[in-house]
């Protein structure tokens, strides 16, 4: 089973459990996100949807993107104004990304030590972090070696 089918299966199970409807736009948006190797902007998702849906309306598409964002299946990369699929368990509170400025590859990284440190600091200062998005720009190893 490839990881895309895996994500769709997870989404089906998730929606059944949460009693959320896995509507056609929601499903197609998630498939597009799962198939993309690169972060996608909302208009790119919309234009890809035109191949599979009749007349997808922008608000419908944006609502579907929002839905998956809220559910943790996709993440928003603020500095690129784009979205990526989550390859993790979809319920982690924060996310860290490395972004290659040469080839555009975005990787989701889980730096547990860093988060422990931050959470520890926040706990002592009585602030409870709910979500965060750490975007680290740089150069990936294949661009560095080329
Ligand atoms: Zn994630
Ligand atoms: Zn690169």
pLDDT bin (cut points 50, 70, 90) of residue 123 is: confident
Average pLDDT of every residue of the chain: 88
pLDDT of 2: 61
Question: Which ligand has the shortest distance to the CA of 100?
Answer: 2
Any idea which of 39-43, 93-97, 123-127, 136-140 has the lowest mean pLDDT?
Answer: 123-127
Q: How confident is the model at residue 114 (pLDDT cuts 50, 70, 90)?
A: confident
Q: Which ligand is nearest to the CA of 104?
A: 2
Give 146 Cα–ligand 2 centroid separation in angstroms. Answer: 9
51 CB-contact burial (10 Å; exposed 0-12 / middle 13-18 / buried 19+): exposed
DSSP strand E in the chain: where?
74-77, 82-85, 94-100, 106-109, 132-138
**Domains in the chain with CATH codes:** 3-85 (1.10.10.10), 94-145 (3.30.1490.190)
| pLDDT value, residue 128 | 76
pLDDT over 70 percentage in the chain: 97
pTM for the full predicted model: 0.84
CB count within 10 Å of CB 103 equals: 13
Tell me which ligand sits closest to the C-alpha of residue 108. 1
pLDDT of residue 124: 75
pLDDT reported for residue 5: 79
Say how many Å lie between the CA of residue 114 and the centre of ligand 2. 24
Closest listed ligand to the CA of 73: 1
Among 24-28, 29-33, 52-56, the minimum mean pLDDT is found in 52-56
* For range 92-111, the mean pLDDT: 88
Q: Is the pLDDT of residue 43 over 90?
A: yes
Instruction: Quick: pLDDT tens for 78-90.
Output: 999 999 999 877 7
80 C-alpha vs ligand 2 centroid, how far in Å? 15
Give dist(CA 138, CA 140) in Å, integer.
7
Q: Contact, 135 vs 79, CB < 8 A? A: yes
């Amino acid at each position: 089973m490839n990881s895309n089918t895996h994500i769709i299966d997870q989404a089906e199970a998730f929606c059944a459990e949460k009693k959320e409807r896995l509507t056609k736009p929601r499903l197609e948006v998630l498939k597009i996100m799962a198939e993309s190797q690169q972060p996608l902007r909302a208009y790119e998702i919309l234009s890809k949807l035109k191949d599979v849906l009749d007349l997808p309306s922008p608000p419908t598409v944006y609502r579907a993107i929002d839905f998956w964002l809220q559910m943790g299946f996709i993440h928003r990369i603020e500095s690129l104004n784009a979205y990526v699929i989550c390859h993790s368990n979809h319920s982690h509170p924060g996310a860290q990304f490395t972004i290659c400025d040469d080839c555009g590859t975005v990787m989701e990284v889980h730096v547990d030590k860093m988060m422990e440190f931050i959470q520890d600091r926040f706990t002592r200062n009585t602030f409870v972090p709910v979500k965060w998005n750490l975007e680290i720009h740089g150069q990936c190893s294949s661009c560095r070696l080329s």
